[in-house]
Structure 1
Amino acid sequence: MFSLKGKSAVITGAGSGIGKAIALLFARQGAIVHIVDRSEVFADETVNEIKQFGKAFKHICDVADQKQMVSVFQQIAKIDILINNAGIAHVGKADTTEEADFDKVYQVNVKGAYNCLYAAIPLMKKKGGGVILNTASIASLVGISDRFAYSMSKGAIYAMSMSVARDYIDQNIRCNSISPARVHTPFVDGFIAKNYPHNHEEIFDKLSKSQPIGRMGKPEEVAALALYLCSDEAGFITGCDYPIDGGFIKLNN
């Protein structure tokens, strides 16, 4: 079950964190994995790990640049699976978020996903179908304090996922989204270090316990959900969002 043998998977932001975990698992399941990341160092690390047991290629580019993304996808040519995972965070409320910061979050999180959809869907249509999985967030479903721009971007990801699922269902393209709560990744560690440098342990503990289950998620747990949704076994699933949140949405009310 859940074999991806011979399938080509493009994963953005796969140099670390959730994206890396998805790339490693997909490669173990037989996929040819294309790592799309801004960091050549991180991309090389993921590719080198995968090459010990599978096939992987790196593509160093900026998802916010449409011309770059169209060129990359045309080079890859065969795309069975697209994982829109690249993203950045931001701390701030509506009246404390500067325009430049709002635009930056939008460019990476929203336009970046759009650029990949724009580049990948014609190739999927040409080959007769495909699977798209977008990384949204619990912030797209419930209010999160001090995450105005980030929540905006993830709400857009959720909405785009539903729109794509509707528009391309007749062309054998499935599209879903996943909405993780806090997952312990280098992204989270860097976020805490940048925004809470003087009370790192206190904030880490607070963020961990904000999930009713009492801890942050693991990248491998998100990867396992991604594998199912991108496998043939999930062929009857499209236009859905899947929270993976340690009970955050339902049990925190």
Structure 2
Amino acid sequence: MEDLQPINDDKDCSDTFSGSKNLIVPEITQPQTTPLILVNPEQLPREIEFLRRHRNKTRLCDPKGVYEFRHIQQTWLQFLIQLMTLLISMACIVGLYYLYYLESKEIMVGVGEVSELTWIDAFEVVMIIGIIFMAIKNIAKQSQLHPQKRYCLAMFANCFNRMWLNTFCLHLSVLVLILSISAIQDPTLQSVNIEMFEEGSAADLANAVYSLVLITICFRAFRFCGKELTA
């Protein structure tokens, strides 16, 4: 008959207690609550009026606004105003480049008609035409996928108006700069040397910078034509 050995309860209890110390007790974390943003009730009517005013206003030089509020259908009055401004801006831009083309021609004895246009001028015209062509292609594709009434004309009117406005401001800034330099040389402006701004390495560099700025103006004016209408 086997001898019964007494069970050491103290040892088992101590082992159980020591093992319980190694257990990982999950930490009880309090749920994170996002702070509530309190809105002043007095500001709500002003914000609603602000949004209503921007939703319904007639945009003429704001391609970004036309894209952001593209779901708002233009009225017929806004459509006619944008159509008129589009034709005026296109006529001004085309007329400006045509005038510049005519002024660049000279008649030399024994040679005939000679043009002073450089490859930088040709590159500028090609880039601007390419940007406008790609904008027309992109917006036509988006309009076929997501048709919206009178959106294309509103976007093109604002793009051309923005381009013409920035181009006019650029020409005005260049004119003020030329007059300022001439006034420094001759305060009476009676003996202004125009050839200084048309010939030389400085004039070529200024012409290159001028063409680059015009290309940038055109790109920024038509950059919203390539955005998706569903975004």
Same fold (TM over 0.5): no
The normalised TM-score by structure 1 is 0.23
> Per residue, is there more helix in 1 or in 2?
2
Bigger relative CO (Cα 8 Å, ≥ 6 apart): 2
